[in-house]
Chain A
């Protein structure tokens, strides 16, 4: 799920950036530092949308660097265990398939794919029902439930399932 939240960060600024453009420099450095990062607690920082306030700077002894506490609003993407979301399949193999929902990767193991879907190898590996009516291959859109998350220093990785009611391939023509 995407959230709009307020975060705080202490920014260190080199004295050469002081002057009329101090604030702009601070903001552009913040964007460069923060956008695209990921933490286990807040998820992926997608975009900074505004600056709430810039606190009083504190001069560091000995270096001349100044630390500013900056409060900023941003859009983050944070997956949760138990959350249901839609994703695009990126890779299919006999172990299961990988899907992407925005910045996050989700793996669905073949144990968590309905039993009536069989793996078919070939040019385009896929999972297909015995009657051929439903097929999961690269670029298929699926609705899945996240059942586990693993948090790395710089990435969040999810395990999902499509073995439940109302999950699986999205074939709702009205949604296109």
Chain B
């Protein structure tokens, strides 16, 4: 992988491998890990002994910082955000942090405003509105 030194998420420089990979929002990771944990629970009585520290810490983290709990809402968030020609990485940052204003969204995801992309403030505003609606009706 070239250009490792100049990695910068603000400009979406995260390496080809990760740019093409599927990003996961915290709430999606929570669903995956909880399911895996349940499976382990069925196989042994003390599943916490079976999992790595990395797994345990990640599970605690995503549970704490999941904006959306219900699987339908999680699916909707991805569906709505994917209408706005975002990169996977941008989509997940927005889904994780749920910015409330256009200014905040651009501060969180500066790449929204670079290289002549189609995002004007109105489009961003609409996107944030759609997001907050899901939260409200969850």
* Contact surface of A with B, Cβ cutoff 8 Å: 1-5, 35-38, 41, 44-47, 49, 75, 77-78, 80-86, 88, 100-103, 141, 143, 146, 164-166, 172, 174-175
Contact = CB atoms under 8 A, between A and B. Distances in A.
Contact of A47 (B8, B33, B99): B33
B9 A82 contact: yes
Interface footprint category on B: 35 or more
Given A35-B52, A80-B7, A103-B58, A166 B23 contact: no
A102 B61 contact: yes
A175 B98 contact: yes
Interface string B117-133: 00000000000000000
Contact of B108 (A35, A101, A146, A166): A166
Given A88-B64, A175-B67, A2 B18 contact: no
9 contacts: A44-B58, A46-B55, A46-B58, A78-B18, A81-B7, A102-B57, A164-B107, A165-B107, A172-B100
A82 B110 CA distance: 10
A103 B57 contact: yes
Contacts of B25: 2
Interface of B: 1, 7-11, 13-14, 17-18, 21-26, 28-29, 32-33, 36, 51-55, 57-58, 61-62, 64-65, 67, 89, 92-93, 96-100, 103-104, 107-108, 135
A1 B23 contact: yes
Nearest to B108: A84
A174 B135 contact: yes
Contacts of B51: 35-36
A35 B55 contact: yes
Contact of A77 (B36, B58, B89, B97): B58
